[in-house]
Chains A and B, each alone.
Chain A
Amino acid sequence: MKYLALVLRSLFRSKRRTVLTVLFLAVSVFLVAILQSVLATLEGFANNPNASSRVAVRHKVSITNLLPLRYGDWIRQQPEVEAAMGLQWFGGVYQDPRNFFANFAAEPEAIVTIFKEEIVTYSEAEFRDFLRDRNGCIVGQSLAAKYGWKVGDVVPLKGTIFPMDPRLTVRGIWRSRRQVDEQALYFHHKLLEESVPWMEGRVGAFWVRIKHPDDVPAFIERADRHFSDAVEPTQSETENAFQLNFLKMMGDIATIIHAITMAVLAALLIVTANTMAMAIRERTTEVAVFRAMGFTSWQVLGILLAEGILLALLGGAGGIGLAWLGAGLIKTGLGSAIPWLVDFAIPKETLLLCLHATMGLGFLSTLLPAWRAVRRPIVDGLRAL
């Protein structure tokens, strides 16, 4: 602690240089924190702990190929299966393409069983109304609140994939534990079948709840074996794996984000190393004087490293603060447009990553110039201008 004043004073020896370096670090750490948080949010979406007992059965060729609805009968008869339903991504637009939210055509009888972790609080009477009304739909509370929907309101959707524009009556609104799980709308698959002839008896996938998570692999193996010789063979996978494949359609986001992160960190290392090299080179004589007074090379190295790490930490803390503010803005600003971001936050792991990365940067960028400075003979240092 007795060296702290010395380290702090040295750090602000050139205020402009220090402030600019800290700003550069802060902006870079902000960028890394936001990018990594987006990645964590997407990965979290594909690693939903609620989904451990859910399996998606889809066409082996791709998720755009359809399966016969009758496959559902065989699936429901399997001993591991608690419930199953056909589920079709509808992709309808409400008023404006920017009003994006997930909307599905579903076989609704088992929906509450299959999504019991998401559809947590609901009115049974409302759900009975939904089951009775072929033009009815159910929506999550957050979605309903966003557009001001109430039970009984009509929600017109414009089909983008299917040639139909359903006018759906809100029959029920459910609540969940997380806002992100209240961002969907479900209507009757029968309505889709009646309106789109080529969808009759066909569905995009089956969502299956397995009684016990341990039985998931056995079911997947048996289902895919059973349908392997069919005209429409299946590929069964956990819901998380399915979501991951869905996300991969957007490109290898993780690789891109990691590549950008590495590029930013490399740029940070170079800039910080340059700053520290300049700062230490200017103090060649001072380092020699310290050592002449009796400071060992290790003590001087420690003081210089502390300075570099502190500089990086200041930038890192600034960047984390900016990211925290940015996350709030993203959540309120973009969360309404992109449902995945409705719970956007900087995860603890990302904060730790940024903190460790900045400390590592501070250490690495200072180590080489500091080491060279303390290894220089004292008499050479005293002669340096």
Chain B
Amino acid sequence: MDCEPIIRCQSVAKSYWRGSLEIPVLQGLDLEIPSGGYVALMGPSGSGKTTLLNLIAGIDRPTGGRLEVCGTHLNDLDDDDLAAWRATHVGFIFQNYNLVPVLTAYENVELPLLLANLSRRERRERVLEALERVDLLDRLENRPGQLSGGQEQRVAIARAIVTDPDLLVADEPTGALDAKNAEEVMALLENLNGEWGKTILLVTHDPKAAHHARVQIHLEKGVLDRTVEVNR
């Protein structure tokens, strides 16, 4: 890991409260992930891997420590600035795809671009480029209900990359897919990392999926357990 870190966690902590009971999820975690890295966060349920992903992606806030992602100290941003930061720097891939069911594949991919100051023509170019990368140019007008699970996830990946973010975060992206589609999605992510230089942070239980990453970070009860370089 000789590149400049794109993610830097310093003593990051996160607790949830159930009434007066504090439930610590992350406990003073220190972590650096280099730009262009492909990291799989692993660990048993409740180990804090999704929480860590959410903090790094800027959709949740730590209760302690500092987070620097893509050169920005996330602790210093208010909600609106954090939203603007996410729009520019982070692409999300969810387990259940979370496409808008009433929009076509094209319109779903176009959604994040509505926040950018782009003309309709510029948006169209970018959407087509993103859909070409996931090999779905022939499904532009299909709605999510007319696509297979694998195709839906590829549309979701196109939506995640259409703004050309520095960081892609994926929470169990193959959790709802069969083995064949899961393999295709993982290959696609690997390609985005290898050929397009996207930093990818992946949360997974699946050792096969994790094997596509270059580094596996194992969490245990909210602390870093071990880091494993993947030999392929």
State the A residues within 8 Å of B (CB).
2-3, 5-6, 9-10, 12-13, 285-286, 289-299, 377-379, 382
Contacts and interface: CB of A to CB of B under 8 A. Distances in A.
B141 to A, nearest CB: 13
A294 B115 contact: yes
Nearest to A291: B83
Which of B54, B60, B98, B107 has the most C-beta atoms of chain A within 10 angstroms of its own C-beta? B98
Interface stretch (B66-74, B86-94, B206-214): B86-94
Nearest to B16: A379
Given A6-B107, A12-B102, A297-B83, 20 more contacts: A2-B114, A6-B111, A9-B100, A13-B102, A285-B98, A286-B100, A289-B100, A291-B59, A292-B86, A292-B92, A293-B86, A293-B112, A294-B83, A294-B88, A294-B112, A296-B80, A297-B80, A378-B54, A378-B60, A382-B98
Contacts of B92: 289, 292-293
Majority secondary structure, A binding face? helix
Majority secondary structure, B binding face? helix
B6 interface: no
Interface string B128-164: 0000000000000000000000000000000100000
Contacts, number: 70
Interface of B: 54, 57, 59-60, 79-80, 83-88, 90, 92, 94, 98, 100-103, 107, 111-112, 114-115, 120, 159
A336 B111 CA distance: 58
> Nearest 6 pairs between A and B by C-beta?
A294-B87, A9-B102, A378-B59, A296-B83, A289-B98, A294-B86
A377 B92 CA distance: 16
A297 B100 CA distance: 18
A369 to B, nearest CB: 18
A195 to B, nearest CB: 77
Contacts of A10: 100, 102
B169 to A, nearest CB: 9
A379 B103 contact: no
Given A294-B83, A378-B60, A13 B101 contact: yes
